[in-house]
Structure 1
Amino acid sequence: MNAAPNDDIILEARNLTKEFKGFVAVKEVNLQVKRGTIHALIGPNGAGKSTVFNLLTKFLTPTRGQILYKGRDITRTKPADIALMGLVRSFQISAVFPHLSVLENVRVALQRPLGTSFHFWKSESTLYDLHDRALELIEAVNLTPWAGHTAAELPYGRKRALEIATTLALDPEVMLLDEPLAGMGHEDIEGTAALIKRVAADRTVLMVEHNLSVVAHLSDTITVLRRGEILAEGPYEVVSKNPQVMEAYMGTGHA
């Protein structure tokens, strides 16, 4: 049975719990992601953030609890089906093809909603439409000079930009980003963070991170996990001053 929808809340977890052979990895997590915001799910290593993310994106099934998308219960819905609803996970399902060009990668992604990656029988005008839309998406992520380069040739930060472009090709209402800033140098972090901010202008973003400082000026709301439970939640100004959060990050180099 679905609850009455709250238009302000687009994605919600209620009492979300995940056990692995008696070990409680996630315990009674209640999370509300507001429409049109960037919401970061963070925590030190072992905090349970990846497990929560995998539950929300349906790559894991909860032991107990409920997940709602736009008021609809999706707790038992398959990942492919929630993607069609507009809830799209990036950097996992949007893996790029290293030996295809940037343009070809985005065109393949645009063809996915049609039911198959390659429609050889489609009219030439349809393929031109995909080509034009692909160029628009490439421009949106600042990859126009790289359009003819293979994905394998791209520097690390630009590969992440390509992955965002292929995710945008699925026209998501909610983008779920799995550590989009991991492994980046300072310059790439700034550029990718700015890109995420830009593409979030007309959609909702939920991202997993372990580094509190890199989401400081990017996120509207930060949820901090520790040992599978929510430790604190709110804007960076509030969360970063929480004594329990400071303790959780003490000595990790991420506070």
Structure 2
Amino acid sequence: MGGSAPGTGAASVSQGRGGALSDLVLETAGLTKEFRGFIAVKDVNLKVRRGSIHALIGPNGAGKTTVFNLLTKFLQPSGGTVKFNERDITRAKPADIARMGVVRSFQISAVFPHLTVLENVRVALQARSPKVFHFWRSVRELDHLDGRAKELVEDVGLGPFLHTPAVELSYGRKRALEIATTLALDPELMLLDEPTQGMGHEDVGRIIELIRRIRTGRTILMVEHNMSVVSGLSDTITVLQRGQILAEGPYETVSKNPAVIEAYMGTGHG
């Protein structure tokens, strides 16, 4: 399960002391979120190493989605800090961190159903283009993006479906298309929210292979319930319970931790 070479992704990579690239791409300190007296996340200290696949797991209600929302700024923390490439992004806006290279793929597939695979990826690429696109203009405005769009479509294994409307794709292939649109933003850090949820065995295998292919040059942080996916992909696993870190380490260590076993078996959730 070892990690790949350090990422070379988005442009705004900071340098650590002495000019050396910091080993940590994302770091939280004391990250806390309280909702009207209920503490959903408490004192989470997360360290995500550059070039790794890092899984965030835990029983239902453990706070995983809340942590993702705090990292991507859809929620503001009640306390603590978030740093990306040693830059404090605790109060940054979602659009700002996306431009920095932190991009999230959502739990529910979010593509334009009546656009083709190619058109979906072209629209995503346009978000990074210096040209301003208006939906009332001709679709030919995006023709200059075709080359890169086709490359991304091939990268996620959707070449045979280039001109297929997204609505006609299987669920697993829709998720692959969503990953292609995420890659179009050239993320240095990808946050994958339940990438295999609701998939059959064949689609799960396809997504696992896809994640392995796209990890080169970037870091992946994912929330995932499927333990076969977590064990097969992750370099590091952080286990949450009741909003706090219960355990952390490689799968071989975490899976044998008595507290982790109790957390899962005791709640009845996988």
**TM-score, with length taken from structure 2:** 0.87
Counterpart in the other structure of 1:180: 195
Structure 1 residue 214, shift from structure 2 partner: 2.4
1:122-137 map, 5 Å: 127-137=142-152
Aligned pair partner of 2:253 in 238, 241, 244? 238
Aligned pair partner of 2:244 in 218, 221, 229? 229
Q: What do the CA deviations read for 1:142-185 (whole angstroms, capped 9, x no partner)?
A: 00101111000000000000000000000111111111111111
Matched-pair contact (CA < 8 Å) for 1:87–1:173: yes
Aligned pair partner of 1:216 in 231, 236, 239? 231
Pair 59,225 (structure 1): closer, same or farther in 2 beyond 3 Å: same
Matched, 1:36 2:60: no
How far, CA to CA, are the matches of 1:81 and 1:171 in structure 2?
14
Structure 1 residue 189, shift from structure 2 partner: 1.0
Report SS of the residue matched to 2:234.
coil
Aligned pair partner of 2:120 in 94, 98, 105? 105
Structure 1 residue 92, shift from structure 2 partner: 6.7
Matched-pair contact (CA < 8 Å) for 2:23–2:49: yes
Tell me whether 66-75 or 85-94 shows the greater mean CA deviation: 85-94
Unmatched runs of 5 consecutive residues or more in structure 1: none
How far, CA to CA, are the matches of 1:117 and 1:156 in structure 2?
29
Aligned pair partner of 1:114 in 129, 137, 149? 129
Report SS of the residue matched to 2:259.
helix
Matched-pair contact (CA < 8 Å) for 1:108–1:118: no
How far, CA to CA, are the matches of 2:134 and 2:115 in structure 1?
14
Pair 77,31 (structure 1): closer, same or farther in 2 beyond 3 Å: same
Aligned length: 251
Q: What do the CA deviations read for 1:89-148 (whole angstroms, capped 9, x no partner)?
A: 1127982100000000000111012364448889x7x84441011000000000010111
Matched, 1:139 2:154: yes
Matched-pair contact (CA < 8 Å) for 2:107–2:194: no
Q: What do the CA deviations read for 1:8-53 (whole angstroms, capped 9, x no partner)?
A: 0000110000000011110100000000000000101010111111
**TM-score, with length taken from structure 1:** 0.92
How far, CA to CA, are the matches of 2:227 and 2:78 in structure 1?
29
Matched-pair contact (CA < 8 Å) for 2:43–2:80: yes
1:12-51 map, 5 Å: 12-51=27-66
Unmatched runs of 5 consecutive residues or more in structure 2: 1-13
Tell me whether 180-189 or 37-46 shows the greater mean CA deviation: 180-189
Counterpart in the other structure of 1:83: 98
Residue identity in the other structure for 1:159: K
How much is the aligned-residue C-alpha RMSD, in angstroms?
Answer: 2.3
